[in-house]
Amino acid sequence: MFERTLSIIKPDATKRNLTGTINKIIENNGLRIIAQKRLKLNEEQAKKFYEVHNEKSFYNDLIEYMSSDPIVVQVLEGDNAITKYREIMGSTDPQLAEEGTIRKQVAISKQENSVHGSDSVENATKEINFFFKIAEIVG
């Protein structure tokens, strides 16, 4: 299936100048970056983006972290882009991530894990629309 997915390069990575390093891994794995924008989420926007997690113990810390510094929002395109990008990202916890994945290579911790990727077709559409509304990012 030819798909689009929403990717975020998170504050820990933009802060360490890792956007190019991460983009290289994305492109080397056959996904095309068709849109990209650097922006800073405010607290309200971060809360809305991660509202599915609002009951979790890590939610407040996650919101603070995601709104602490600029992020780079991207739309990626390719065959099975959603699942493929999840594979390229690696496990949420970098200690469990496989060799070669972005999180294995650059993530700091389970929270500061450098990247976000949509986890379903429905959420990819939702997340791309979310960033179109707040920042006109589009493919």
Return the residue of 30, 38, 58, 95 that touches ligand UDP, per CB under 6 A.
58
Return the residue of 34, 36, 119, 123 that touches ligand UDP, per CB under 6 A.
119
Told to check if 69 binds ligand UDP by CB under 6 A, we report no
Return the residue of 5, 14, 116, 131 that touches ligand UDP, per CB under 6 A.
116
Q: How many residues does the chain have?
A: 139
- b or e along 92-128 (b: 16 or more beta carbons within 10 Å of the residue's beta carbon)? eebeebeeebbbbbbbeeebbbbbbbbeeeebbeebb
Told to check if 83 binds ligand UDP by CB under 6 A, we report no
Count Cβ atoms within 10 A of the Cβ of residue 9 and give its class: 0-12 exposed, 13-18 middle, 19 or more buried.
buried
Catalytic (active site) residue 116: yes
Give the interface segment with ligand UDP, choosing from 29-37, 68-76, 109-117, 122-130 (CB under 6 A). Answer: 109-117
Amino acid of residue 109: S
Which residues form the interface with ligand UDP (CB under 6 A)?
A: 53, 58, 62, 92, 110-111, 113, 116, 119
